[in-house]
Amino acid sequence: MTTEPNASAPVPAEATVSNRRGFATRAIHDGQSFDPRTGAVIPPIFMTSTFVQDGVGGFRDGYEYSRGGNPSRDALQQQLASLEGGTHAFTFGSGLAAEDALLRAVLKPGDHVLMGNDVYGGTHRLVSQLHQKWGVEISTADASDLDAVRAAVRSNTRILWVETPSNPLMKVADIAGLAELGHAAGAVVVADNTFATPYLQQPLALGADAVIHSTTKYIGGHSDLVGGAVVTADASLAESVGFQQFAVGAVNSPFDAWLTSRSLKTLAVRVERHCQNAQAVAEALVGHPAVTAVHYPGLPDHPQHELAKRQMRGFGGMVSIQLAGGVPAVHELVARTRLFQLAESLGGIESLVCYPSEMTHASVKGTELAVPEDLLRLSVGLEEAADLIADLTQALDSLS
């Protein structure tokens, strides 16, 4: 690795060679070699800010200062690069910090960002309220409609940003189709893979140039850390993102990197259970008199169900519902659930219910990204499915 300020921190070559092995095997082993001094099976946490040099410029294994590189962060970055099928990964202190680094690495004043019209509110806020001040343009289109995206592309479109499944309406976008369209326009195609995780979906293999994660969510998986990541197989883009990481320094701590590495090792088994539970919950809620719509790609009547079947290994752990009673019903339901706790975030082992209009997407109220006020987002956890269904049913029954 290198910590030169104008260079990226390349992932070792074995990160790509090991892609021949299965996902769960790579998750457990890539970047996770035992400690050579003690034989400890789990790599230690390198809680250090700096590293002793063997003379001026004599870096040991290339390590100089933890903003530029730390063994705990490098281990996580190698894991992520392997699991996403990339060659370079960079981890940050939050998902938005990762997004900001990628945006800064690509954009200049006068460039245009075309974004899906159903994305995390903070992502839209980052561009529309911060980057737009520096001369960047932004517009949105329905990313699940290739014709709508094609019509929205401009001559100065530099980034095509897709989130699939989308937050919170669970729309599914054709990553391969968008990649072809974006590349024809000369744009960098970015896929937010937070909801799907690398276990369910591989955007780089489908043609995306970069993948974004809030590692806080399913990758972290235990609601005990905050982080973000950028993964790419484009060496030039990696160099630019690596420079942003080094120069701005919004990196995750060694401890958070170690926690995230620990969590990645169980991602496959956790996501399988999330998918099973979410499917059961979604099917149980369809037809309930208090529910007017259930948004879940695993339901046969979802508009992009067939696309999701082709593009994803499973349908994920997120379900959104709309209530017949509108806003009053929303407030009553979140007061009555017991296992589904009212909180922001998602992807943890515990089930959460979120009211996007006033929580995660409050910043886009009154815009084209405004979320229906009768919608609740469910992050379906790892509890027994029957218990989760019973919790939601008793709360919904009280509304009927």
Q: Are 320 and 168 in contact (CB under 8 A)?
A: yes
State both tokens at 66.
């933890």
| β partners of residue 160 | 114, 189
Tokens 């937070």 identify what position?
A: 194
**CA–CA dist 317, 362 (Å, integer):** 23
Q: What is the pLDDT of residue 2?
A: 33
Task: For residue 23, give the nearest of 167, 189, 217, 205 by alpha carbon.
Answer: 205
The predicted structure's pLDDT at residue 20: 73
Spatial contact of 201 and 267, defined as CB atoms under 8 Å apart: no
Secondary structure of the chain in the HEC alphabet? Answer: CCCCCCCCCCCCCHHHHHHHCCHHHHHHHCCCCCCCCCCCCCCCCCCCCECCCCCCCCCECCECECCCCCHHHHHHHHHHHHHHCCCEEEEECCHHHHHHHHHHHHCCCCCEEEEECCCCHHHHHHHHHHHHHHCCEEEEECCCCHHHHHHHCCCCEEEEEEECCCCCCCCCCCHHHHHHHHHHCCCEEEEECCCCHHHHCCCCCCCCCEEEECCCCCCCCCCCCCCEEEEECCHHHHHHHHHHHHHHCCCCCHHHHHHHHHHHCCHHHHHHHHHHHHHHHHHHHCCCCCEEEEECCCCCCCCCHHHHHHHCCCCCCEEEEEECCHHHHHHHHHHHCCCCEECCCCCCCCCEEECHHHCCCHHHCCCCCCCCCCEEEEECCCCCHHHHHHHHHHHHHCCC
Tens-of-pLDDT digits for all 400 residues of the chain? 333 333 333 333 334 444 579 999 999 999 998 888 899 999 999 999 999 999 998 999 889 999 999 999 999 999 999 999 999 999 999 999 999 999 999 999 999 999 999 999 999 999 999 999 999 999 999 999 999 999 999 999 999 999 999 999 999 999 999 999 999 999 999 999 999 999 999 999 999 999 999 999 999 999 999 999 999 999 999 999 999 999 999 999 999 999 999 999 999 999 999 999 999 999 999 999 999 999 999 999 999 999 999 999 999 999 999 999 999 999 999 999 999 999 999 999 999 999 999 998 998 888 888 999 999 999 999 999 999 999 999 999 999 6
| Beta sheet of 188-192, edge-to-edge order | 88-92, 228-232, 210-213, 188-192, 157-163, 112-116, 137-141
Q: Please report the domains of the chain, with CATH numbers, ordered by start residue.
A: 14-264 (3.40.640.10), 268-397 (3.90.1150.10)
Nearest to 82 by CA among 35, 34, 12, 33: 12
What per-residue confidence (pLDDT) applies to 367?
85
Angle (CA) 307 309 310, round 5°: 65
HSE, side-chain direction, 13 A CA sphere, residue 311:
26
d(CA 226, CA 211): 18
CB atoms within 10 A of CB 260: 28
Task: List the catalytic residues.
Answer: 67, 120, 192, 217
The whole-number pLDDT of residue 3 equals: 34
Residue 211 CA from chain centroid, whole number = 8
- Whole-number Å distance between alpha carbons of 114 and 160: 5
The reported pLDDT for the residue numbered 400 is 65
What's the pLDDT score for residue 79?
97
